[in-house]
Amino acid sequence: MTLLVQLTDTHIVEPGHRLYNKADTAAHLADAVAQINAMSPQPDRVMITGDLVEHPGQETYDHFARLIEPLHAPVNLLPGNHDDPAILREQFDGTGCFPAEGPTYQYTIEDLPFRILALNSHYAGSELPAFGPRRLAWLEAALEESDRPTMIAIHHPPMITGVEFIDMVGVDWYADIARVIAANSQVRLVICGHGHTDLVGTIAHAPVYMAGSIAHQLVAARGNDHAPGFDNRPVAPVLHHWLGERFVSGSHPWPAWVDDHRIDTESGLAWTELKDRMRGSMR
């Protein structure tokens, strides 16, 4: 059993401040860290898929680093549109969190039963994504190295979402990613963030899981080109569970408090008996 927890879009600001004078993103991230540390069993990895800070610089990355430092599980990071990959590389040099090198600032994780290819969709000066020839060549070479089952992690969603403010960039930026994934059946899942809402889609044969934000949500209209609404609430960490041949993904990782509210505990019946009741005539 291998468990990977995903957080995304933490948007940490300078200490003592709130994002847009509304969201206490530091408190939201601290709560998420506490939730992950209370999981049983502990995850094998925590992946934070971009927009780590709102304003990239030493002060905000220091603040972010202090907030994730209590995590028991190993942590890996991706740059988002609000990050600066070069500053991120310098900030976390030697920690193992972001073992990327320029110019692509992409890297692989090889110490799990599946590979992770951590990609960079950052485009300086814009909130929109980019994935140019050097990054694409890196992806093609990394997939050629091994046919082991592979997860791809990227900040921007490489799929049509039906949400206009996400889809306004069009499909061209990820068309080559889709072509490469289509030629590599070992890619089993793509995880991303950016949209501040949770959605599931596909790219080529692979499912795409876009996680909601730890900072706040954007309530997006479907079918109408409206500005999204601001919802000052985080989401639960997302758990991606590798079952040996495929991933299953969803929120609500097993917290410590749930043992007191298990249905066998509250009913007074043994779990084996409850399972027999569920089976009914199929026993």
- The predicted structure's pLDDT at residue 270: 94
- The predicted structure's pLDDT at residue 255: 72
Q: What is the DSSP string of 187-240?
A: EEEEEE-SSSS-EEEEETTEEEEEPPPSS-EEE--SSS--PPEEE----PPEEE
* Cis peptide bond prior to 103, omega within 30° of 0: yes
Q: Could you tell me the pLDDT band of residue 63, with boundaries at 50, 70 and 90? A: very high
Q: CA-based Rg of the chain, rounded to a whole angstrom?
A: 20
The rounded distance, in Å, linking the Cα atoms of 140 and 179 is: 10
CB 58 within 8 Å of CB 66: no
Map residue 18 onto helix, strand or coil.
Answer: coil
pTM value is 0.95
Q: Could you tell me the pLDDT band of residue 171, with boundaries at 50, 70 and 90? A: very high
- The predicted structure's pLDDT at residue 226: 80
- The predicted structure's pLDDT at residue 133: 97
Average pLDDT over residues 181-197: 97
Q: Taking all residues of the chain, what is their mean pLDDT, rounded to a whole number?
A: 94
- The full set of domains in the chain, from first to last, is 2-252 (3.60.21.10), 259-283 (no CATH)
Lowest-pLDDT range of 87-101, 168-182, 184-198, 261-275: 261-275
